[in-house]
Amino acid sequence: MTVDASLSKKSRAVLAGLQLPGESEFEHKSSMDELERLVKTLGFDTVARVSQKRKYPAAGTIFGKGKLKELAHYTGGSGYVNGYVKDSSTEDDELDAWVDAQFCKLDELADNEKATIVILDCELTPTQLSNLEEATGVEVLDRSGVILEIFSRHAKSREARLQVEIAKLAYTAPRLRASRVGSDRQGGGIGSKGAGESSHELDKRRVRDRIAELRGQLKSIQAEQNTRRAKRQESPLVALIGYTNAGKSSLMRQLTRTNIEGENKLFATLDTTVRTLQPESSPRILISDTVGFIKKLPHDLVASFRSTLDEASDASLLLFTVDGSDANFRSQLDVTKDVIAEIGASENPSRLIINKVDLLSDSELKNLKLEFPDALFISSMDPIDIKSVRETIIEFFEEDMSDFEVHIPYTQGQTIGKIRARARVIKESYDETGTLLIVRTHKDIQDWIEKQLR
């Protein structure tokens, strides 16, 4: 699945989707729009979108004859599978004649206008992939394959690269053997040679051995991460959770005053990043930016990134972040909550942040505030809004705290630094014998402070 020069930014894609019963026009369009954004992230130009309403997918090809022929029009393929031998029935002959007549009316596309790849907004079986490639004459990729390729490009840490490779091997192994496009898939097209493979004929045993090797390496890395995570347990942790491109990285950058990568692309962030809330609070609060979620995320990828999402499981507070300007954010929030439930973090305390309100009209913002009265409405570009988020975070951790006075003799002045590291000092004054602090903290920290002064 490594992209070569033949599939550069000049590559042209035709997108295809199936609208099944139970899926509204809005939901179908939103899913296709999202697929187009995924494809754009890969650097492809979309030359056409093809959709079909069906009660169920056609056996072996997803689409009916007419849509296969339409796809083939954009790619230069035959539109047929297995040589396509017509039935002798009059009804079938009439259908074939009608299909051919529709597309004979269209001007034939020049070679530089034809799509070089077909991308489906669903997951394909190896047989479906093979049949569609035969009908279109070009490489075919499903939604899962697109997401895996994006993850592969954006993975930077060793852990993320290992996780993606495991998912890619599980995805590509059966599909490589089923492909009929080209006699040699070693050129490195998106659906071809996967990371870690020596040839596209890698069999199940070698895939299994490679995955076992990768998991062993991953286990070693995760052990190191667990050690680092354990060292951070004394500090409260807040996890930014949300759909890809919801603005989590921008919010992270503002809250921690660091240069965290944030691009207007899907899955710009794959590796969990942990930084300290700024200005630093007492005790300090950690903020983590996690990988974004998306609909129809490949199951193997969810499993592979489970350790990455452990930060969410360990978090004292989850900040569900959504793009308020996206009309589909409600279903995106549902997807995010489903994944959080899958990793066992649904009981963690949470707050909803509706981001990008600067892109909303006054009436849209008013309606959202009525619909989500407990949400925090912000623009991650507005310093006042960032200050409000920071205050919300601090208030959450101070909800079950209480204030108490403590007198520290000058002879034990070194204790003040330890107290500041574990509690919030509200007021500080001095007398002849020492320092008087008014401290806000939990009962266990209060007990610890009193123990230090005995």
Range of the domain at 296: 232-397
Same domain, 372 and 441: no
Q: Is residue 441 part of a domain?
A: yes
Percent of the chain with pLDDT over 90: 34
Mean pLDDT of 130-154: 89
Return the CATH number at 392.
3.40.50.300
Same domain, yes or no: 388 and 438: no
Whether the predicted model's global pTM rises above the 0.75 cut: no
The pLDDT assigned to 400 comes to: 82
- Look at residue 121 and tell me if it is in a domain: yes
Of the candidate ranges 30-39, 119-128, 176-185, 277-286, the one whose mean pLDDT is the lowest: 176-185
User: Does residue 189 form part of some domain?
Assistant: no
**Rg of the chain in Å (alpha carbons):** 28
Confidence of residue 234 (pLDDT cuts 50, 70, 90): low
Q: Region 234-245: what's the mean pLDDT?
A: 85
Confidence category of residue 428, pLDDT binned at 50, 70, 90? very high
Quote the mean pLDDT of the chain. 80
Mean local confidence (pLDDT), 334-339: 87
- State yes or no: pLDDT of 183 exceeds 80: no
Residue 228 — pLDDT band, cuts 50, 70, 90?
low
Residue 184 has pLDDT above 50, yes or no: no
Residue 20 pLDDT exceeds 70: yes
Question: Residue 133 belongs to a domain with what CATH number?
Answer: 3.40.50.11060
Query: Edge to edge, what strands does the sheet with 273-276 contain?
Result: 273-276, 286-289, 237-242, 317-323, 350-355, 376-377
Final residue belonging to a domain, choices 154, 187, 209: 154
For the segment 161-169, the average pLDDT, to the nearest whole number, is 85
182 occurs within a structural domain: no
Which of the listed residues 122, 138, 154 is the one where a domain comes to its end?
A: 154
- Peptide bond just before 283 cis, omega within 30 deg: yes
Per-residue confidence (pLDDT) for residue 208, from 0 to 100: 82
Is position 213 within any domain?
no
Cis peptide before 279 (omega within 30 of 0): yes
Tens of pLDDT, residue by residue over 353-393, are: 999 999 999 999 999 999 999 999 999 999 999 999 999 99
Q: How many domains does the chain have?
A: 3
> Which is more confident, 305 or 253?
253
For residue 363, tell me if it sits in a domain. Answer: yes
Residue 178 has pLDDT above 60, yes or no: no
- What is the average per-residue pLDDT within 119-145? 91
Per-residue pLDDT at 442:
84
100-137 burial code (b ≥16 CB/10 A, e <16): eeeeeeeeebeeeebbbbbbbbbebeeebbbbbbbbbb
| Residues 439 and 385 placed together within one structural domain of the fold | no
Q: How confident is the model at residue 227 (pLDDT cuts 50, 70, 90)?
A: low
Report the pLDDT value the prediction gives residue 85, as an integer from 0 to 100. Answer: 42
User: Is 201 within the bounds of a domain?
Assistant: no
Q: What is the pLDDT of residue 356?
A: 96
pLDDT of residue 36: 93
Does the residue 214 lie in any domain? no
pLDDT of 299 higher than 60 = yes
One domain for residues 314 and 380: yes
Q: What is the pLDDT of residue 436?
A: 93
Segment 282-297 shows an average pLDDT of: 81
pLDDT at 445 exceeding the cut of 80: yes
Residue showing tokens 């807040």: 238
Phi, psi of 55 (to 5 degrees): -70, -30
**Are 29 and 150 in the same domain?**
yes
pLDDT on residue 94:
47
pLDDT given for residue 340 in this prediction: 86
416 and 290 fall within a common domain: no
Does 293 lie in the same domain as 147? Answer: no
Q: Output the pLDDT for position 105.
A: 47
Burial of 164 from C-beta contacts in 10 A (0-12 / 13-18 / 19+): buried
| Cα–Cα distance for residue pair 442/146, rounded to 1 Å | 48
Portion of the chain with pLDDT greater than 70, in percent: 76
Same domain, 377 and 411: no
Domain stop point among 130, 154, 178: 154
Q: Let me know whether 428 and 329 are in one domain.
A: no
Could you tell me if 270 and 390 lie in one domain?
Answer: yes
Please tell me whether residues 322 and 252 are part of one structural domain. yes
Characterise 196 by phi-psi region: left (phi > 0), alpha (psi -120 to 50), beta (else): left
In tens, the pLDDT along 324-335 reads 999 889 989 998
The tens digit of pLDDT for each residue in 36-95 reads: 989 998 889 999 999 999 999 988 899 988 889 889 989 988 888 874 444 444 444 444
Q: What is the pLDDT of residue 264?
A: 54
Same domain, 389 and 429: no
